[in-house]
Structure 1
């Protein structure tokens, strides 16, 4: 994998890693973290608890042929409270999931009892050539998206930590 096939951003949060991890493992929080307006409601709202778990999300994108659509995600990385990540894909006509080769990854490094360094990485190195040939741009968002998402995440985690 080259750095040309992934982008990352990092931010230090003034909350414990377990709090950050709990928010990331809650699909109901993902729309608030995202910030693009693409991620909508969780179809599978159960907390993420293990590698291999599938969870579906309602989505919207003006350039998508259907406007509103769903994605299926598969938890690929799960090591509480230090690492969580998922592949994003869709359900084929037969209901089986197919993943496009892009991965959302959050690395959490505790920096004491109440501080966590969080790195968000979007990695599209696994995207097969036939998908790339469709003209899909990677990454599909602007350069500030990852750090903006981390700022949204820190707001959510600070709120949860205070309550």
Structure 2
């Protein structure tokens, strides 16, 4: 862990291809999420490459609206090794996609035919000063990453 990155690692009893396929399906993200904030995928499409944007419905009791949407842009897409995205939102002022400066990343290392090491990282090093006035980083409890990896392992095992 660096000052502005947290990560957790686990080993999942499945191939890297199988794990990656679950991560590339935004419809699975609510079930993977360890906080309960991600609610539903709003786009009926799998992730296929860098630059792609996928939207999810979210809920957080401290958000001014409670329910809201995030538009995530895929940064890295290297099947079956790396997938990452940065959450953003459509600016009400400009109508354009803007980003807060944090990102999610999964690194997968095949350890055997049915064994994959998975590292989940959350990096907020690019967050500017204004969001930092309103959001404490990381904005979740320390067990969130471990919970997410446990949820991912359970989904893959099905």
Q: 1 CA distance for matches of 2:73 and 2:115?
A: 28
Q: 2 CA distance for matches of 1:131 and 1:68?
A: 19
Q: How far has the Cα of 1:11 moved from its partner?
A: 0.2
Q: How far has the Cα of 1:45 moved from its partner?
A: 2.6
Q: 1 CA distance for matches of 2:73 and 2:146?
A: 23
Deviations along 1:73-124, one digit per CA (max 9) or x if unpaired, are 0000110000000000111123311011101000000001111000000000
Q: 1 CA distance for matches of 2:67 and 2:144?
A: 21
Aligned counterpart, 2:126:
126
Does residue 108 of the first structure (1) align with residue 108 of the second (2)?
yes
Structure 2: where are the runs of 5+ without partners? none
Q: 2 CA distance for matches of 1:12 and 1:21?
A: 13
Aligned counterpart, 1:35:
34
Q: 1 CA distance for matches of 2:110 and 2:28?
A: 21
Aligned length in residues: 157
Aligned counterpart, 2:95:
95
For the residue of structure 2 that corresponds to 1:37, the secondary structure is: coil
How does 1:9-28 map onto structure 2 within 5 Å?
9-28=8-27
For the residue of structure 2 that corresponds to 1:101, the secondary structure is: coil
Aligned counterpart, 1:61:
60
Following TM superposition, the consecutive aligned residue runs of length 4 or more in structure 1 with deviations greater than 2 angstroms are none
Q: How far has the Cα of 1:135 moved from its partner?
A: 2.9
Q: 2 CA distance for matches of 1:23 and 1:151?
A: 13
For the residue of structure 2 that corresponds to 1:58, the secondary structure is: strand
Aligned counterpart, 2:151:
152
Whether the aligned pair in 2 keeps the contact of 1:15 and 1:158 (CA below 8 Å) is yes
For the residue of structure 2 that corresponds to 1:3, the secondary structure is: coil
Q: How far has the Cα of 1:128 moved from its partner?
A: 1.2
Whether the aligned pair in 1 keeps the contact of 2:108 and 2:118 (CA below 8 Å) is yes
Whether the aligned pair in 2 keeps the contact of 1:58 and 1:68 (CA below 8 Å) is yes
Does residue 71 of the first structure (1) align with residue 70 of the second (2)?
yes
Q: 2 CA distance for matches of 1:128 and 1:35?
A: 25
